[in-house]
Chain A
Amino acid sequence: MPESNSLTKQHLHISMRLNGEPREVSFASYKTLLEVLREDCDLPGTKHGCELGECGACAVLLDGEPVLSCLIIGAECDGREVVTVEGLAKDGKLHPLQETFADCGAAQCGYCTPGFLVTAKALLDRCPNPSREQIKESLSGNLCRCTGYQQIFEAVEASIARIAACRVSGNSEVV
């Protein structure tokens, strides 16, 4: 194991927009975005399963795109927008994906769920009416050991109508 040099122990200071709020945070310069979120921003909702970019549990949205926060250095996030599972609900209301994940059994142990939710949100933001194949493709980097994925697909599909209903009613805040 390489000796940690003084550089990695130095603290960095960045500003980002985190879950819709301006956020200033200082952290040891070696830290990944995952570590910064969990350890320095008090947002433990984002999970880790491998810290090598293999499981998708740590997915967050960086400038609207799903990324594996274990592969992003915190230093890269200065001036950028980050959304975690904690930022999905708005004004005390769950995001439609959160509602349907809970209703359809898409979250069993719930450990992979934050990663699935933000990845699915990115898909629906980009493609409001995806096919089952598009859903499978976009979620193929997220591993789940509990569900066998089918209830996750069903939850994403069930949310499509709810999101559309929100849009029609002008409640675009939620989505």
Chain B
Amino acid sequence: MAAVIPPPGEHLHDRKNLQLIGKARRRVDGRAKVTGQTKFADDLQFPRMAHCKLLRSRVPHAIIKNIDATRAAARPGVLLVLTGRDFPIPYGILPVSHDEFPLCNDRVRFVGDPVAAVIATDPLIAFEALDDIDVEYEPLRTFSDPEDSIQHSEPRIHEYADKGNLHKLVSLQFGDVAGGFADADHVFDDVFFYQGNTHLPIETHATVGTKDPDGKLTVYSSTQCPHYLHKATAKALDMDPAHIRIIACSNGGGFGGKSDVFNHEIVVARAALMLDRPVKICLTREEVFYCHRGRHPVTMRFKTGVKNDGTITALHVQSLLDGGAYGSYGVASTFYTGALQTVTYHIPKYRFDGCRAFTNKPPCGPKRGHGTPQSRFGQEIQLDKIAVKLGIDPAELRLRIIEQPNTLTANFLTVRTIGLRECVERVVRMSDWKNKYKKMPHGRGVGIACSSYLCGAGLSINWNEMPQSGVQLNLDRSGRVTAFCGATEIGQGSDDVLVACVAEILGIDPHDVRPVTGDTDLGPVDLGSYSSRVTLMMGNAAIQAAERARDLLAIAVAKKLEIPKERLVFANRKVFDCENPLKALSFRDAVCAAETMHGTIGTVGSYSPPKSPAKFKGGGVGPSPTYSYSAAVVEVEIDPRTGWLRVPRVWMAHDIGRALNPTLAIGQVQGSIYMGLGEALMEEQEFRRLPERLSNALVHKFPSMLEYKSPTTLETPEMYIELVEDPDPTGPFGAKEVGQGPLLPIMPAVANAVFDAIGVRIDEVPITPEKILKALDAKAKGKDPRFGPASFPSVPYPEPIIVTPPWEGGDGRAANEPEKKHRTEQNQGARNAAWHDAQKLMNEKSNPEGASR
């Protein structure tokens, strides 16, 4: 039973007798999804709606000399042609990289960069008119990979890069890493490569812009982040944001691919305003491959010092990211390749060097796990190598080095609950690991890996001290509760989380609560569906709003029933006396009583994450209210003659804190395993050069769903999943994230299983039959039994920022960053490091908001 006032000392996350939370249920939007009634952006139809198509660059890097759209504009049915001249203001998702224009201004930077838009009465007319636009290009040297960008600084893809064509160069050192290596019994030094891959949501991106009857702008879009689209649209169109409404439609899958602001969204917004009629764009599948913003290809070097018992003495990680042609989330992605190693295992001394290079390919950005799967792959394979060398069972090695709960790590990340030990123990037990590892016949094997992930980024992208999620409740005398929130339903079940948190506190049925989400005009801001933040942040805001509503009702009901409000229970759509349950009001009557006493009933809740103790530049990426943990065992079967690899079974234990709705939580874990297997075995965002005589262009090797291989039902393994529930005090009812973390251990667990099966190391993904055969061939010839990069490139990393770890007396500030230190003190330590970059890099015109601060 849910008492109004929790007994002293009882916290919500400890609560045992919950009515709704923790029970497997149909999600609130389940019916809509199975009847085809969920409205996705391309399902929207409006009277007089026009259609937009984009002309995209067919050359990878060039100056636009001239665009002549006269013929296109003259075509019957063509209403408007827009070019870069119509969009003078750049935008970007991060304040440090406002480097995109809705339509390219003077330069194209990759095949697929949009240079013009045609809006016509019919999509076919718009499409055909694209051929009537003549663009004159002056080709520039094209950069195809990061090493090319390291070696050649000119011509610069962007002027604002840290150095030449190296977008971002960072180096952070926590403690005496060299001393740590000197203390080690063994030092392992390995290089890995993680190929890029893409989100492949089944829904292609779509947006409709409309000019409202009152002249304001409304944009409906398949976006994960309506709040960021709101900001960017206002900036790029130089409009008052109060006159722009963004409605995030239900996303047909996102996985990070709809979390950036896209040029087509801003183009149709302007077109709708200019034409005074609705304008829709829906991208083709090929265009989605070129929009990308997916997993960065990363080359990594891991240097790890260990004692004979497996204890880590020091870790030095170096990463080189292929960023593609624009900034996107790339600065954050770069830091993420080096941020979360320390929250999983105890690492007393740590150094991270990161570099993101610009190349003339579609921009990379955040995909499920954002920047961390690549380095997790390297770390977990290297741990497997360490275990083999030291003669320690790989599961046992991990149990020895797991980070402690309630710890501040070397890089000042706050670990709270950590269920990783139990996760490892459970997958070992479930998979019968001890009878399988090193004991299966040749060609079959098992591998283990662990991981951790954020439950929401601790610092928002645009630094401010406002809440990161807000919920408003409106209660009506009918007994109906409406929950308003900016959160965005992308399939993960955020509407269900919102409704469940409210219904649990108010003791009503989830069906009694109507969620109104993803609409910037109707609900308070939620930053968006990224960084696994929604359950924790929106959930806490929802609980706060619901508790305030419950308390308003309790005062009125207590008076009416003439009992102290402390005796009231909210459950089963009733409010009753815990000492005499027959003394009760229905929930509806309770709302009526409250409305009579207080007037209209509405409450608000908001959530801001705890302040991070990391005060050094770069410390803004990695902090989170808490972290989730996962462990996986993967079994593989390999045919050594063909290299063909099959995954028959996967075991996963995930530390979720508390599962709010186990049906959805299990679905997130299974979906993560599936997507991880795709990355491990087949998915790659690969590019090729067309011959010189054609254009020398860098084009996607296979921009179709047939040739970009992703797992089907036939590749699906048996999945055995357990949720580890140790409620975390920071989470709503103790819940942590589940949408991204479980993906992370899959790829290294597959690689480790390959080694157990056939004794070769595949140090890169995807792990294809061809690579397995090459490694087996090397082994047969007595060479290094391995496939992977031979060496790590020479990268001009800067001198590291030196930060003393907490156990050596560090206070989270850098020892060699005086200017930053001063500023940090001024601002009470809460400023995002990215913000300082923004001030340095952004001119006033491109970032008026920055200039005013």
Contacts of A152 in B (CB 8 A): 713
Known A-B contacts A84-B36, A86-B36; A147 and B704 likewise in contact (beta carbons under 8 Å): no
CB-contact partner of B37 in A45, A50, A108, A111, under 8 A: A45
Q: Which of B34, B491, B666 contacts A101 (CB 8 A)?
A: B34
- Tell me, yes or no, whether B396 is within 8 Å of chain A by CB: no
Contact B202 A86 (CB under 8 A): no
Distance in Å: Cβ of A29 to nearest Cβ of chain B: 12
B130: A residues at CB distance < 8 A: 1
A10-18, A73-81, A134-142, A165-173: which one contacts chain B? A134-142
Question: Cβ of B285: which chain A residues have Cβ within 8 Å of it?
Answer: 49-52, 54
Contact digits for A133-164, partner B, Cβ 8 Å, 1 yes 0 no:
00111011111111111111100000000000
A146 x B667 contact (CB < 8 A): yes
Instruction: Report how far A86 CA is from B45 CA in the complex, Å.
Output: 18
Q: Least Cβ distance of A71 to chain B in Å? A: 13
For residue B710, give the distance in angstroms from its CB to the closest CB of chain A: 6
Q: Is A127 in contact with chain B by the CB < 8 A criterion? A: no
Q: Is A66 an interface residue (CB 8 A)?
A: no
In the complex, which residues of chain A have a beta carbon less than 8 angstroms from the beta carbon of B34?
Answer: 85, 94, 97-99, 101-102, 107, 110, 113, 117
Q: Which of B45, B253, B666, B714 contacts A111 (CB 8 A)?
A: B253
| Interface presence of B250 (CB below 8 A) | yes
Chain B residues closer than 8 Å to A57, beta-carbon distance: 202
* B706: A residues at CB distance < 8 A: 50, 52, 54
Q: Are A150 and B202 in contact (CB under 8 A)?
A: no
Q: Are B719 and A150 in contact (CB under 8 A)?
A: yes
Identify the closest chain A residue to B257 (Cβ): A145
Q: A52-B285, A85-B36, A150-B716 are in contact. Are A102 and B30 (CB under 8 A)?
A: yes
For A142, give the chain B residue with the smallest CB separation: B713
Interface residue ranges of A87-121 to B (CB < 8 Å): 88-89, 94, 97-99, 101-105, 107-114, 117
Which residues does chain B contribute within 8 Å of A1, judged by CB atoms?
A: 127-128, 130-131
Contact A144 B673, beta carbon cutoff 8 Å: no
Residue contact B670 to A151, C-beta cutoff 8 Å:
yes
Q: How far is the CA of A103 from the CA of B710 in the complex (A)?
A: 26
| A46 contacts the other chain (CB 8 A) | yes
CB closest residue in chain B, given A136: B713
Please measure, in the bound complex, the distance between the C-alpha atom of A143 and the C-alpha atom of B715, giving whole angstroms: 12
For the complex, give the distance between the alpha carbons of A137 and B38 in Å: 28
**Is the Cβ of A94 less than 8 Å from the Cβ of B250?**
no
Among A50, A89, A146, point to the contact of B671 (Cβ < 8 A): A146
Measured between beta carbons, the chain B residues less than 8 angstroms from A97 are 34
- Cβ-defined contact, B35 with A98, below 8 A: yes
Complex Cα gap A99–B671 (Å): 21
A114 and B716 contacting across the interface, CB-CB below 8 Å: no
Q: Determine how close the nearest CB of chain A comes to the CB of B291; give it in whole angstroms.
A: 15
For A109, the chain B residues whose CB sits under 8 A away are 33, 201-203, 250-254, 490-491
Give the total of B residues in contact with A, Cβ under 8 Å.
59
Most chain B beta-carbon neighbours within 10 Å: one of A141, A148, A149: A148
For chain A, the bracket of interface size reads: 35 or more
Which residues from chain A contact B204 at a C-beta distance below 8 Å? 48-49
Q: How far is the CB of A132 from chain B (nearest CB, A)?
A: 10
A55 at the interface (CB under 8 A from B): yes
Residues of A within 8 A of B492 (CB): 108
Do B252 and A110 have beta carbons less than 8 Å apart? yes
Chain B residues near A6: list those with CB within 8 A: none
How far, in Å, is A8 (CB) from chain B's closest CB? 8
Of A44, A105, A153, most B-chain CB atoms within 10 Å: A105
Q: Contacts A102-B31, A145-B710: A47 and B716 contacting too (C-beta < 8 A)?
A: no
Given contacts A110-B32, A136-B714, A136-B716, contact A146 B491 (CB under 8 A): yes
B710 adjacent to A94 (CB under 8 Å)? no
Tell whether B27 is near chain A: CB-to-CB under 8 Å: yes
- In the assembled complex, the Cα of A69 lies from the Cα of B146 at a distance in Å of 42
B497 to chain A, nearest CB (A): 13
Q: Which residues of the other chain, A, contact B490 by a CB distance below 8 angstroms?
A: 109
Specify which chain B residues have a CB less than 8 angstroms from the CB of A98 in the assembled complex: 34-35
- Chain A neighbourhood of B32, CB < 8 A: 110
B713 touches A111 (CB 8 A): no
Which of chain A's residues has its CB closest to B32's CB?
A110
Per-position contact with A for B675-713: 1 when CB-CB < 8 Å, else 0? 100000000000000000000000000001110001011
- By a CB distance below 8 angstroms, the chain B residues around A43 are 36
B757 within 8 A of A: no
Contact A47:B40 (CB < 8 A) given known A85-B35, A143-B710:
yes
Instruction: Contact check, A147 vs B252: say whether CB atoms are below 8 A apart.
Output: no
A91 to chain B, nearest CB (A): 14
CA A55 to CA B708, docked complex, whole Å = 11
Q: Does B74 contact A (CB under 8 A)?
A: no
Interchain CA distance A156-B33 in the complex, whole Å: 16
B111 at the interface (CB under 8 A from A): no
Give the nearest-CB partner of B710 in chain A: A143
Give a binary string over A1-44; 1 marks a CB under 8 Å from any B CB, 0 the rest.
Answer: 10110000000000000000000000000100000001000011
Instruction: Verify if B200 is at the interface (C-beta below 8 Å from A).
Output: yes
Q: Is the CB of B30 within 8 A of A151?
A: no
Contact call A4/B128, Cβ cutoff below 8 A: yes
Residue in contact with A143 in the complex, picked from B31, B43, B202, CB distance below 8 Å: B202
Decide if B35 touches A45 in the complex (CB within 8 Å).
Answer: yes
Q: Does B611 contact A (CB under 8 A)?
A: no
How far apart are B96's CB and chain A's nearest CB, in angstroms? Answer: 31
Contact present for A108 and B35 (CB under 8 Å): no
Complex interface: chain A residues within 8 A of B491 (CB)? 108-111, 146
Contacts of B714 in A (CB 8 A): 136-137, 140
- The one of A46, A135, A140 in contact with B712, judged by C-beta atoms closer than 8 angstroms, is A140
Q: How far is the CB of B143 from chain A (nearest CB, A)?
A: 30
B30 and A54 contact, CB distance less than 8 A:
no
- Which residues of the partner chain B approach A3 to less than 8 Å between Cβ atoms? 128
Contact A4 B667 (CB under 8 A): no
- Contact residue among A46, A149, A150 (Cβ-Cβ distance under 8 Å from B36): A46
User: Is B663 interfacial (CB 8 A cutoff)?
Assistant: yes
Cβ of B493 within 8 Å of any chain A Cβ, yes or no, is yes
A152 and chain B: residue at smallest CB distance? B713
Chain A residues contacting B713 (CB-CB under 8 Å) are: 135-137, 139-140, 142, 149, 152-153
Closest to A141 in B: B712
Q: Please state if A148 and B202 are interface contacts (CB–CB under 8 Å).
A: no
**B530 at the binding interface (Cβ < 8 Å):** no
Q: Name the B residues within 8 Å of A88 (CB-CB).
A: 35
Task: Tell whether A86 pairs with B670 under 8 Å between CB atoms, given A112-B202, A145-B200.
Answer: no
CB distance from B451 to the nearest CB of A (A): 17
**Known A85-B35, A110-B250, A111-B252: A49·B202 in contact at CB below 8 Å:** yes
The CA of A137 and the CA of B199, in the complex, are separated in Å by 24
Whether a CB of chain A sits under 8 angstroms from the CB of B135 is no
Decide: B35 and A148 in contact? CB cutoff 8 A. Answer: no
Q: Tell yes or no: B358 within 8 A of A by CB.
A: no
Q: Is the CB of A145 within 8 A of B33?
A: no
B290: CB under 8 A from chain A? Answer: no
A30 to B396 CA separation, bound complex (whole angstroms): 63
| Nearest opposing residue in chain B for A111, CB measure | B252
| Residue in contact with B26 in the complex, picked from A103, A114, A144, A151, CB distance below 8 Å | A103
B561 touches A (CB below 8 Å): no
Q: List the 3 closest pairs (A to B, CB-CB), nearest first.
A: A45-B36, A109-B491, A111-B252
B: residues with CB less than 8 A from A are: 26-27, 29-40, 42-43, 45, 124, 127-128, 130-131, 199-204, 250-255, 284-285, 490-493, 663-664, 666-667, 670-675, 704-706, 710, 712-714, 716, 719
Cβ contacts A to B, 16 pairs, < 8 Å: A44-B45, A45-B36, A108-B667, A109-B203, A110-B33, A111-B253, A111-B491, A113-B33, A114-B36, A136-B716, A142-B713, A143-B712, A146-B671, A148-B667, A151-B666, A151-B667
List chain A positions with a Cβ less than 8 A from chain B: 1, 3-4, 30, 38, 43-52, 54-55, 57, 84-86, 88-89, 94, 97-99, 101-105, 107-114, 117, 135-137, 139-153
Given A54-B705, A145-B201, 9 extra CB contacts under 8 A:
A50-B706, A84-B36, A101-B34, A105-B666, A109-B251, A146-B667, A148-B673, A149-B716, A151-B663
